[in-house]
Amino acid sequence: MANTYLTRTPSSTGNQQKVTFSVWIKRCKSGGEAIYSIGGSVDQNYYVDLIFDSDFLEMNWYDGSGNHSIKTNRLFRDTSAWYHLVVAIDTTQSTASNRVKIYVNGILETSFSSADYMNQNQNMMFNTSSREIRIGQRVNGSDSANIIMSHFHCADGTALAPTVFGETDSTTGEWKIKVSPSFTPGTNGFTILKDSNTITDQSANSNNFSLGAGAITATKDCPSNVFCTFNKLYNTNANGDLIPVLTSGNTILLGHGGSYWYQIPGTLAFTSGKFYWECKFNSGTNLDKNTPGVIDYEKCFGTGQFQDQTGSVFYKNEDGGETRLDSSTSSANYGTLTQNQILGVAVDMDAGTPTVKFYRNGSLLATVNASSLAGKSVTPAQMVYGSGQFQLNFGNGYFGTTAVSSAGTNASGNGIFEYDVPSGYTALSTKGLNL
């Protein structure tokens, strides 16, 4: 949701002492980001924000007596997984620490660097008429969000437990989503960002949101099926400029320019199975040097370029189209890709000798037998040169914010791709890893 925010201004006032917010989020970058904010044209200095402040989760507000905040000691830096956040507020509680409860994946947060609780029975700004609500941007600030959000619920008038919205899986012991939680929304409560019905309230109310800026992009990535993306936390190079710019949920990479190679691995790796993904050769210079492929994950943390490592397979879009295995380049002219053409990558780790197949717009270009990948933990890897750019579809059905034009067949039922998924292959996601 980078540069995108949702907005709604209630027309009536609900309960100003009790409220619960529940949302599943997947972060795409570090730093300051706004999740939920309340302010408005009336008394601009009065506000309530739920934000990430330098990777700490913080609720802050101004109520006329000064600025107040509750800020975790815990850092939230994982850009590969979903967090479930529940904030339950009840100012009628006699014990100060019970007036705001913050739960992460079903667990109550108890360690805070600041914990300035509101007064007992204090009326807060939430659920107040004429006070604008924003999701994804602060009303009275500059922080926006680069966050994927799902199942955003608000209960006006009740402070609820996280078990209303999630539960522990009896088999894995992991916290998982309740896709249809049962709760009373109250006057200004709502349920949005659920399924394909994005900003229309799906609770018993009709508290619909509007798009304030940007665009809503649907994604198959969800709390119950996390798809591979580029690893935003990867930063082993001494020169930070060798890490590309990442956008659109970390599925687009762009070089910073200059005479440099930029490289980055994926967030998921696999030692067995058969996986497929697609790389769109997007606009930008140095299209001939776009180099997608796979690498032994351990080799991501050495020195030098990915394509020079033993345990790597890449497709080089130069000299007529070549493959590169364990730092050696083939002499064959398999074919190059032009702007907006799509390279499919299919990796079979179950074969006697692992194979990597490359497709151009659905047609097979080359097959590489890679014995150096046997028994290794393999991850997607991308390299661009100068201002080169890639758009990746790991199964979400989008290249950036553009949906695939006509989805191909996929027998696994996991992921949406532009072209037919080769028989026996699936998307690289948590569901795909467990098929």
Q: Which domain covers residue 12, as residue numbers?
A: 5-213
Residue 191 has a pLDDT of 96
The verdict on 273 and 410 lying in the same domain is yes
The verdict on 257 and 205 lying in the same domain is no
Q: What are phi and psi of 308, to 5 degrees?
A: -100, 5
CB atoms within 10 A of CB 205: 16
Q: Does residue 22 have a pLDDT over 90?
A: yes
The verdict on 366 and 429 lying in the same domain is yes
Residue 241 has a pLDDT of 63
Q: What is the CATH number of the domain that holds 147?
A: 2.60.120.200
Q: Determine, yes or no, domain membership for 230.
A: no
Instruction: Indicate the SS3 state at residue 247.
Output: strand
Residue 42 has a pLDDT of 44
The verdict on 275 and 344 lying in the same domain is yes
The verdict on 284 and 177 lying in the same domain is no
Burial of 172 (0-12, 13-18, 19+ CB in 10 A): exposed
The verdict on 160 and 253 lying in the same domain is no
Q: Determine, yes or no, domain membership for 158.
A: yes
Residue 196 has a pLDDT of 67
Contact 346, 357 (CB under 8 A): yes
- Of 213, 232, 257, which residue constitutes the final position of a domain? 213
pLDDT-wise least confident of 16-20, 169-173, 305-309, 412-416: 169-173
Q: Determine, yes or no, domain membership for 219.
A: no
The verdict on 174 and 258 lying in the same domain is no
Q: Determine, yes or no, domain membership for 108.
A: yes
> Per the confidence metrics, is the pTM higher than 0.85?
yes
pLDDT digits (tens, 9 = 90+) for 103-152: 999 999 999 999 999 899 998 888 888 888 988 888 766 666 678 899 99
Once rounded to an integer, what is the mean pLDDT over residues 10-16?
A: 93
Q: Which of 233-237, 402-406, 409-413 shows the highest mean pLDDT? A: 409-413
Instruction: Indicate the SS3 state at residue 240.
Output: helix
Half-sphere exposure for 61 (CA within 13 Å, toward CB): 22
Contact 155, 87 (CB under 8 A): no
The verdict on 386 and 252 lying in the same domain is yes
Q: Determine, yes or no, domain membership for 234.
A: no
Q: How confident is the model at residue 353 (pLDDT cuts 50, 70, 90)?
A: very high
CB atoms within 10 A of CB 357: 18
Q: List, as own/partner pairs, every contact residues 414-417 make where C-beta atoms lie below 8 angstroms and the sequence separation is at least 24, other chains included.
A: 414/225, 415/220, 415/227, 416/220, 417/276, 417/277, 417/278, 417/344, 417/393
Q: Does residue 84 have a pLDDT over 80?
A: yes
Instruction: Indicate the SS3 state at residue 36.
Output: strand
The verdict on 309 and 421 lying in the same domain is yes
How many domains is the chain partitioned into structurally? 2
Q: Determine, yes or no, domain membership for 223.
A: no
Q: What is the CATH number of the domain that holds 381?
A: 2.60.120.920
Q: Does residue 40 have a pLDDT over 90?
A: no
Q: Determine, yes or no, domain membership for 263.
A: yes
Q: Determine, yes or no, domain membership for 229.
A: no
Instruction: Please report the beta strands in 214-273, taking only residues with DSSP state E, as ranges in sequence order.
Output: 245-247, 252-254, 261-265
CA neighbor of 181 nearest in space, from 195, 167, 200, 199: 167
The verdict on 253 and 379 lying in the same domain is yes
The verdict on 138 and 16 lying in the same domain is yes
Q: What are phi and psi of 430, to 5 degrees?
A: -65, -35
Instruction: Please report the beta strands in 326-430, taking only residues with DSSP state E, as ranges in sequence order.
Output: 328-329, 342-348, 355-360, 363-369, 378-385, 389-393, 398-399, 402-403
The verdict on 175 and 292 lying in the same domain is no
